[in-house]
């Protein structure tokens, strides 16, 4: 091996910062692609990545990682592992692939934006590796589901989802475009790498990898844990960026950017991970609940890191965020199961008697609140009236997060003071929001969001034809074979103890 240690020559790979002479600074780093927030150009040159890696190290490491992950896939691909998986777990991974695979690839565009418009050479180098990492994640997370296509046509959504107007995909696109695909480099370092990757996905991937191994999904477990090792490296672009903003008196910018994206990330995270952990993962393989996971991992780590910079916890933390840990994803679960034809996976109700005991233990009072709705659903199913458990209308959708408004469920569960959505009248248009923080995010940066429409706006505006449930499903790209069905064929309802509530009239 070459004799010089990395530390002896590494700085010579990262000092390529210079003062422009032939074009203007604002031409080469335009604010829309790289908002310097008023810091002098040379201030950014002090940007120092905590994790160092060289090109030779990168290709040597990644070659080994890819070889081992694809080897697992090759072995598993010849087995009958997938068909033996629990139906709820299948739903969890199909939802994951649809929402995550192509967006991870798109994050490579975000990384290459930082690789071009990042304000220090060291940063641009890290982002170059980041662009490669995300290209890897996009490819590996489409390669694996591609292998499932012969036995699982819904795996097509790993590739197709982002091309559709399925409501969850609109919500995901809205989040990811705001976070990286259509974000500037500096904001992105704070919002994608620090807030989302360090704050959420690192931990989600660790948690899901462990769950996958317990469930026996070696394929997914190997995939996710290998991806996590890349994320752990390139997510560190956020820390020095925040550090420089704070050092140069722009803690206000860092605070606002993090508050904005932490809330938005939480919204999607509750939908995807909340349902997977508390309802889709087979009971015998569940460890901590989603709320416990959030409190022990996300909340604690996030606050520790955030306070290290001298920043405050987001303004909505105590009043809005923490209380939601106990109810928000339960409300989403109810809504998504009810509107199951509008998703590409088969929602698992996850409320068989022993699962309800677990939910009650983890979320005291669950039986009396959310359990009551499931009683009605189960009674209708047992009475042979599945049509009463299917939607005929559409929910109200939030103009910021594009997730249905579930405030009424929060209110009926005694967690919210009002069932009403939050409203904003602005320039002759009325916007509705699921929560105070969603309205706040909108008001902080209306230019990002104001002319955008929700699925419901499009429906009412005549873009969805015919204006029926069937027309809406077609608009969302869901063929009749792809619309979601109950994951277990209602087995849970027939296993439920009879009699708490009668069927709906």
Partner 1 sequence: MTNASGGRGRRTWSRFGDVRRRPTPYEVVTGGFHYHFRRDPVPFEMDPEWTLNKWYLAHREGSPFQVADWEDFRDPAALTYRDYVALQHDREVYLDALVDRHEESGSAAALDPGWVDTLRTLFVPLRFPLHVLQMTALYVGQMAPSSYITNCAHFQAADELRRIQRIAYWTRVLADAHGEDLARTATARGAWEDGPAWQPLRRALENLLIAYDWGEAFTALNLAVKPALDVLVDEVFGHLAEANGDGFLTELCTEFGRDARRSREWTRALTGYAVEREPALTGVLDGWVATWRPRADRAVEALADLFTTAPRPLTPTEVTTRVHDTHDAFLAAAHGR
What does the alpha-carbon distance between residue 263 and residue 423 come to, in Å, rounded to a whole number? 18
What does the alpha-carbon distance between residue 186 and residue 238 come to, in Å, rounded to a whole number? 9
Part of the chain binding partner 1 (CB under 8 A), chosen from 9-17, 237-245, 323-331, 466-474? 9-17
- Contacting partner 1 within 107-126 (CB under 8 A): 108-109, 112-113, 115-116, 121, 124-125
Q: Report the residue from 49, 86, 156, 486 that binds partner 1 according to the rule CB under 8 A.
A: 156
Q: Report the residue from 43, 48, 77, 143 that binds partner 1 according to the rule CB under 8 A.
A: 143
33 scored as a contact of partner 1 (CB under 8 A): yes
- Contacting partner 1 within 255-294 (CB under 8 A): none
CB 341 within 8 A of CB 390: yes
| Nearest CB to partner 1, comparing residues 60 and 504 | 60
Q: Report the residue from 37, 73, 95, 136 that binds partner 1 according to the rule CB under 8 A.
A: 136
Part of the chain binding partner 1 (CB under 8 A), chosen from 28-36, 254-262, 386-394, 404-412? 28-36
CB 391 within 8 A of CB 404: no
Part of the chain binding partner 1 (CB under 8 A), chosen from 171-179, 190-198, 314-322, 372-380? 171-179
- Contacting partner 1 within 336-365 (CB under 8 A): 346
CB 482 within 8 A of CB 342: no
- Measure CA 351 to chain center: 24
CB 187 within 8 A of CB 362: no
Q: Report the residue from 71, 74, 75, 149 that binds partner 1 according to the rule CB under 8 A.
A: 149
217 scored as a contact of partner 1 (CB under 8 A): no
- Contacting partner 1 within 50-109 (CB under 8 A): 54-56, 58-60, 62-63, 66-67, 70, 83, 87, 90, 102, 105-106, 108-109
Q: Report the residue from 52, 72, 81, 159 that binds partner 1 according to the rule CB under 8 A.
A: 159
7 scored as a contact of partner 1 (CB under 8 A): no
41 scored as a contact of partner 1 (CB under 8 A): no
482's tokens: 């792809």
CB 320 within 8 A of CB 437: yes
- Contacting partner 1 within 452-491 (CB under 8 A): 452, 481-482
**CB burial of residue 50 (10 Å; 0-12, 13-18, 19+):** exposed
The nearest distance, CB 450 to partner 1, in angstroms, is 5
125-150 burial, b at 16+ Cβ within 10 Å, e below that, comes to bbbbbbbbbbbbbbebbbebbebbee
Q: Interface mask (CB under 8 A) for partner 1, residues 420-459, using x and -?
A: ---------------------------xxxxxx-------
Helix (H) or strand (E) holding 1: none
Rg for the chain, CA atoms, rounded: 23
Q: Give the residue carrying structure tokens 């699962």.
A: 355
Going by their DSSP bridges, the two strands 422-426 and 429-433 should be labelled as: antiparallel
């Amino acid at each position: 091996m070459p004799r010089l240690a990395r530390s002896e020559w590494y700085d010579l790979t990262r000092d390529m910062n210079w003062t422009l002479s032939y074009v203007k600074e604002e031409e080469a780093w335009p604010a829309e692609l790289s908002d310097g927030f008023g810091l002098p150009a040379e201030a950014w040159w002090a940007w120092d990545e905590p994790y160092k890696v060289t090109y030779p190290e990168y290709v040597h490491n990644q070659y080994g990682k890819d070889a081992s992950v694809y080897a697992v896939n090759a072995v598993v691909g010849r087995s009958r592992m997938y068909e033996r998986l629990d139906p709820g777990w299948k739903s969890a991974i199909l939802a994951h692939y649809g929402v995550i695979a192509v967006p991870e690839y798109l994050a490579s565009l975000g990384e290459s934006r930082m690789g071009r418009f990042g304000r220090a050479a060291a940063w641009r180098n890290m982002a170059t590796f980041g662009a490669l990492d995300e290209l890897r994640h996009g490819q590996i997370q489409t390669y694996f589901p591609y292998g499932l296509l012969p036995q699982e046509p819904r795996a097509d959504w790993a590739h197709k989802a982002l091309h559709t107007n399925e409501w969850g995909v609109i919500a995901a696109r809205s989040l990811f475009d705001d976070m990286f695909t259509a974000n500037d480099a500096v904001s992105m370092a704070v919002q994608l790498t620090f807030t989302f990757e360090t704050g959420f996905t690192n931990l989600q991937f660790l948690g899901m990898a462990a769950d996958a191994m317990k469930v026996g999904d070696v394929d997914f477990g190997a995939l996710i844990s290998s991806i996590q090792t890349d994320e752990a490296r390139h997510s560190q672009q956020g820390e020095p960026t925040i550090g420089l903003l704070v050092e140069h008196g722009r803690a206000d910018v860092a605070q606002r950017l993090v508050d904005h994206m932490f809330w938005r990330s939480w919204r999607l995270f509750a939908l995807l991970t909340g349902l997977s952990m508390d309802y889709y993962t087979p009971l015998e393989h569940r460890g901590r609940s989603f709320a416990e996971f959030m409190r022990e991992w996300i909340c604690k780590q996030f606050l520790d890191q955030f306070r290290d910079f001298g920043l405050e916890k987001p303004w909505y933390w105590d009043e809005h965020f923490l209380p939601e840990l106990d109810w928000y994803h339960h409300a989403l679960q109810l809504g998504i199961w009810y509107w199951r034809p509008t998703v590409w996976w088969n929602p698992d109700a996850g409320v068989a008697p022993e699962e309800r005991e677990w939910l009650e233990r983890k979320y005291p009072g669950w039986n009396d609140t959310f359990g009551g709705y499931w009683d009605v659903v189960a009674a209708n199913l047992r009475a042979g009236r599945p049509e009463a458990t299917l939607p005929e209308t559409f929910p109200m959708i939030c103009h910021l997060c594009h997730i249905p408004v579930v405030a009424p469920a929060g209110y009926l569960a005694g967690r919210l003071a009002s069932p009403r959505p939050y409203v904003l009248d602005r320039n002759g248009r009325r916007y509705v929001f699921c929560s105070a923080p969603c309205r706040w995010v909108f008001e902080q940066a209306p230019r990002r969001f104001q002319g955008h429409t929700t699925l419901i706006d499009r429906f009412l505006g005549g873009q969805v034809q015919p204006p029926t449930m069937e027309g809406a499903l077609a608009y969302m790209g869901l063929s009749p074979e792809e619309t979601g069905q109950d994951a277990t064929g209602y087995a849970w309802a027939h296993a439920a103890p009879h009699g708490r509530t009668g069927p709906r009239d």
